[in-house]
Each structure stands twice: as structure tokens, then as C-alpha cells.
Chains A and B, each alone.
Chain A
Amino acid sequence: MSASEVRLPPARYEHGGDEFVFVELDQEMSLEANLKAMAITGALRREDIDGIIDICPSNASYLIRLDPDRLHPADLVDHLRALEHSAGQLPDDHAVRTRIVDVPVLFDDPWTRETLLKFRDRHQDPSATDLEYAARINGFTDVRALIDAITSAPFLVTMLGFVPGLPFCYQMVPRERQIEVPKYVRPRTDTPERAFGYGGAFAVVYPVRGAGGYQLFGIAPAPVFDLAQRLPDFADDIAFPRPSDVLRYRAVDRDEYDRTRTEVESGQFRYRTREVEFLPAELLADPDAVNTRLLEVLYR
């Protein structure tokens, strides 16, 4: 694991006014930074400290919302520093127990294509589609090869946010195989619900229609957010994805997309989901082996 090991810089502790503490584990994105954020926030959640209102793991950082009337922000920072030392070092046998989920995506669909064509004046390359542009700047021979790269390895949900239920997903492959694209020059004012987008090193599914700045690659037939909680996967929660979930984006054709939409609309749809466990140390050392095993569990 030594060759791919990332040494994280010292964490930065910052006060977001009196009600928030922000902790940046790294300015760069890496699986190591995210796994550390998950480990620290997980340990903090188990402590159940009075005065902590929200614990929000983020990509390479985390954010705590607190009630300063019950917990002084400076005391919380002291506590988090201590936690960084006790919980932040992941032992080699540390295991993440989570879910792996099959997430169908129709790439290059008519709806996001229509939207992206409407906003060409806000884009780096007005003459190409977002997929064509992303394929070119990432060195792929064509759009097909880019889609293959996205669907070949699963993604870790590294953060939820922006709007309720939006999963930021980071692909579980080494840095040199990561896809990276810029965000739009100026954000769009419109994005279709369930659009599949990519920005920085993150893939997302937009929960609701609205503004957005990520490159548009496709659309998912199934929702990640269901306010009415009509679908069985949303019985407990209006948002489906959870931090540390592993999502496998699978390319589907128009027929399967339409079939899945019908299932969603009749309330029958369920995500294909399996319980899994993986060792972060093993993932960092041999991602391909871990990913192969995870996909085997998912489709067994």
C-alpha cells in the first residue's frame, strides 16, 4: 500500500461563526481523506455529546453544527483534536460495513441533452456536448470509453448535501484513473430531476429540478429523493443514499430506462442492494480486487 499512500496534512480547525465548526482534513480529494472524515464523524456520533445538532461528513472535510448555548465551540474544537488522534488513524483491520447499490443510468439521454444545449453559453466548449468534452479532456478515444470507465468501478458516497439527498460520489480507483472535469463556467439555472452529473472528481444524481453546475452525462430512472415516501426504499427516510454507501452506476438502454420508470411510477421499484463489508486498507492497496468482489456480491 506504500506506493499509493497519501499523507494527509495536519487538519485545519475553523469556526463557522458560533454555530458551526469546520474541519478540513485535506485540500485535495482522496479516499484516505474521506475515510478519515467518516471514521472521526462516526466516533463522534457514538459519543452522543449534548449540544451537537448535526454531524456532516464531507468529501475531504467535515462540518459540525452545534448549539453554543449548550456546548462552547472552542471546547468542541479541543475535543475534535483529541478525537483526530484517537479515531483518525485507521488500523489495517478496520472494516466499513455498508451497502452496495445498483444505480441504473441512461447516458446521453434526450432530456439532459436538451438542457445542456440550452446552456452552451455557460460552458467551456460550446461546440461539444458535456460527454464529448469530458471524454476529450480526460484522454478517452470517444464517449463510449468514458462511459465504460464510469461504469467499470463503483463509487463511494463521500458526502450528502447541496439539497436534500444529493450524493457526492467518488470513484474507488487510484488517482491516475480518476475522471476529473470542471464545473460549468457559470452555473445553469435548470437541471432535470434525476440528472446524472459530474464535477471536479465527483459524480452526482440531482434529487430535484433546479440550479446546478456539474457536467450533464445522463439521467437515472430511479429517484434518490422521495418526499412522499411512496417507494419502499424510502419508507424510513426521504433520501436514499447514505454516506459510505457504494454505488455502482450501470449503463442501461432506453427500454430498460422506460421499464424502470414504469416500476417507479407504480410504486414497485426497489434498488438492487446488498450488505457488504470492505477493508479500507485493502481498497487502497488493491482497488481492482476489492471492486471485483463488491460487484460479485451485488449481482450474485
Chain B
Amino acid sequence: MNELIVRSGGLSTTVQDTGRDGQYAIGMPPSGAMDQYSFAVANALVGNPPGAAALEATYLGPELEFTDPRSVAVTGADCDVAINGEPAPTWAALRVSAGDVLSFGQVRGGARPYVAVGGGIDVPLYLGSRSTYLLTGIGGFHGRALAGGDRLPLGEPVGEAPVAGTEVPGELRAEFPDVTELRFVAGLCAYRLTERALASFVEVEWKVTKDADRVGYRLRGGSLEFVEREQPFGAGRDQANVVDLGYPVGSVQVPGGDEPIVLLNDAVTGGGYATIGTVISVDRDRMAQARTGGRVRFAPVDVETAVAARRERRVRLDKARAAVSAEQR
């Protein structure tokens, strides 16, 4: 079996795929790549099937040494990439030989680069997925972030990879706007906020705090007031408390009224804080590329718009796949 030698793990690099479905009811979140679009395009660039496991880095990518010839591609956040110290393009199909070293510079835009390798990262499946869930140490490479000295097992490439040099057209790459717009469906326990607070939630430009990871992003920038009420039995006394309920991935909770938390792929799956709406699935890709100190805004949409946005992403992904497919050449 061939391996990928991890010379340095970067800041926090984990093995991720499309996610672990069907375990939410016992409290296990789906995990999986935070930016599913960039993840899927990276796999397409190396000729992998759509759900093959890849690496998700955060801010600073890993340093990886190859032990055999492979296809490799880096997508997601905007960063410098080098092979043996020579600059290499991102959003492009690359070819490496045994002994070649892939390394990263700090990200300039976005937060999370994705690295796909032909054949995929072949860590064992755990409950149907290779995704890492850091909180309880499940899946991925021994349930943790990569560290120098790790040797990642690689799968056998299936099918043909796009030829080296194939690039994803600019308009089909991820974007990193100054202010990330997050469409969200208001509701769940939105009745707990005053109308003024709900209005200010979408008017305020929120700043991403340093408490921003795969579990969720804590935001600051405004203050939201609750409708005064006699607390219902079983909730606990605080105005922000409700009887513990299930939290959707993407849901926005407001523990103190002044620090909304958007729950993401490694989220806690339930709890007793009022939740006021849910970021639509497509825009979790954008949120994954929002960084500490970055700004986000919320735009209310209905569920039809959320479903339509999903269709648009699929069309965009099909275009990206068509643009790089091996058969086209």
C-alpha cells in the first residue's frame, strides 16, 4: 500500500469526505468537508469518484511527501502552493513523482484549502465515512488532525485523471468577498427575539471571532433582545433558554443575545439555547471560507430559495466537472 508522508500537519489539517450520515439521532454530527464545492472540484481534478476522502487544511496547509507518482490538486482558499519549492497552480490538475514535496504558504483569501490525491486518502471507513470528528476522536486519521511523521494510506486510482495543467475556469472557483453574505431561513425559536432584534440581526455586519472552528463560528457586532416571558417548565430560568431541542447544522443560536453562534459540520446536535434560524446548506461553503476577523451578513430567504440555490450549485459543479473531465481532452 502506498502512503503519503506528512512532514508537517499545518495548523489543523483533517481527512474529510462528504460526511457521515444517519448518526444524528445519537448525537453524532455529519462532519465532512466544510466547503463541499471546493472539496468536490478537488476530487474531479484528480479523477476521483465524488465522495473520495481528501484533506481539509485551515489557514496553513500541510507539507506532504509523495512515495509514488500521483495526481494531486489544491482548491478552496487562495494560497501559494509549491512542489519541491517551485510554485504550482491551484484549482489545477498537478502530477507528482515519488519523493516530491507539496508545501503551502499562508492563505491570502478564504480559510480552508483542500488537497485531493488520486486514489483518495484511504483511512478506514467509520460508520460509512472517512471524515474526522475531532470532538470525540472519530474517523479520519486516528480521529485527529495530522501531525509530522504521520503516514497516510492512499487508495488505488480508479479511472483516468485529467491531464496535468488542466485548470478550473476562474468563474468556477471559490470567491472570497470582503463581506460574506449568508442566506438563512429564519424560524425555529425566532419568536424568542423582539421584532427589532430580528431586524437588527440582518442589518448588522457581524465579525467572526477567534472562536471559529469546525464546531461553529461565534460572531460579534450587535446585541439582540429577547421577548420577556415567564420561562416554560423544564427550560431553565435564563431568557435565552428553551427546553433542550435538536439543533440543525447551520442553525444560529444566541446564548447571551450578544454572541450568535452558527453551528457547522462538527456541531453539537442539540441543547437548550434559543435558535433563530438556519444558514442554507449552500452558503455553509462560503462560511467555511470566512475567517477570524472577517465580516458576514445574514440575508433572509425562504425554503424555496434555499432549494433553488442547491440546484444552482449542482449546475455549477457539473460545469466545473465538465471543464476538467479527462474525456474532454
Contact = CB atoms under 8 A, between A and B. Distances in A.
B50 interface: no
Contacts of B138: 164, 227
B236 A199 contact: yes
Contacts, number: 202
B241 A165 contact: no
A55 B243 CA distance: 18
Given A60-B234, A72-B307, A237 B245 contact: no
Contacts of A73: 303, 307
Nearest to A74: B303
Nearest to B184: A17
Contact of A161 (B27, B235, B242): B27
A183 B239 CA distance: 12
B234 A200 contact: yes
A159 B188 contact: no
Interface stretch (A18-26, A82-90, A109-117, A268-276): A18-26
Nearest to B138: A227
B23 A164 contact: yes
A202 B281 CA distance: 31
Query: How big is chain B's contact interface, by range?
Result: 35 or more
Given A20-B248, A168-B244, A68 B24 contact: no
A16 B248 contact: yes
B131 to A, nearest CB: 14
A53 B22 contact: yes
Interface stretch (B105-113, B151-159, B193-201, B271-279): B271-279
A165 B26 CA distance: 6
B169 interface: no
Interface string A49-63: 000011111111111
A124 B106 CA distance: 44
B243 A17 contact: no
B90 interface: no
B135 A208 contact: yes
B16 interface: no
Most B C-beta atoms less than 10 A away, residue of A16, A178, A207, A210 = A16
B246 interface: yes
B234 A29 contact: yes
A61 to B, nearest CB: 5
Contacts of A56: 24-25, 246, 269-270
Nearest to B137: A227
Contact of B281 (A14, A17, A59, A239): A17
B251 interface: yes
A54 B233 CA distance: 28
A24 B192 CA distance: 14
Given A54-B22, A164-B26, A61 B245 contact: yes
B250 interface: yes
28 contacts: A17-B280, A18-B281, A19-B248, A22-B187, A24-B245, A29-B243, A54-B25, A56-B24, A58-B245, A59-B243, A61-B243, A63-B270, A65-B248, A68-B310, A73-B303, A74-B304, A161-B25, A162-B268, A163-B135, A168-B270, A178-B233, A181-B236, A182-B236, A199-B272, A200-B244, A201-B234, A225-B136, A239-B27
Given A54-B23, A161-B244, A183-B241, 5 more contacts: A16-B251, A58-B245, A59-B244, A68-B307, A170-B234
CB-CB nearest 7 A-B residue pairs? A29-B234, A16-B248, A63-B246, A161-B270, A20-B248, A17-B278, A54-B24
